[in-house]
Structure 1
């Protein structure tokens, strides 16, 4: 597993918490808190774009 630096968990109103992490190679990771051993991974740029789209409300239909 890569050397991932994880941010503090983000928890919504429910019990669903996730963490965002990065590694020295420029990869970004998203994992359910407590399941950091099985993250989704992509580039930091892709993660940044995902967060911007979520903030813009483009994923509200998924919630």
Structure 2
């Protein structure tokens, strides 16, 4: 994947070993990665990532964590 200037947030850790990091870049793209593997990430628009986080917090995607 191309090199980006990603600003990573603190890790979010669920039960067990499921630790994730969220990040953004200057162009408004959102990123999600497993803690410790920030060089391997998924990317999407900031709006798409924001909606995913809202759904997780609302309990709509508990199976992801």
TM-score, normalising length from structure 2? 0.88
Give the 3-state SS of the residue equivalent to 1:41 in structure 2.
strand
Structure 1: tracts of 5 or more residues without a match: none
**What is the rounded CA distance, in whole Å, between the counterparts of 2:41 and 2:21 in structure 1?**
9
Q: How many residues align?
A: 63
TM-score, normalising length from structure 1? 0.90
Over the aligned positions, Cα root-mean-square deviation in angstroms equals 1.2
2:17 aligned with 1:19: no
Structure 2: tracts of 5 or more residues without a match: none
Residue 54 of structure 2, aligned match among 49, 52, 55: 52
Residue 41 of structure 1, aligned match among 37, 40, 43: 43
- Give structure 1 regions of 4+ aligned residues with deviation exceeding 2 angstroms: 60-63
Aligned-pair distance for 1:60? 2.4
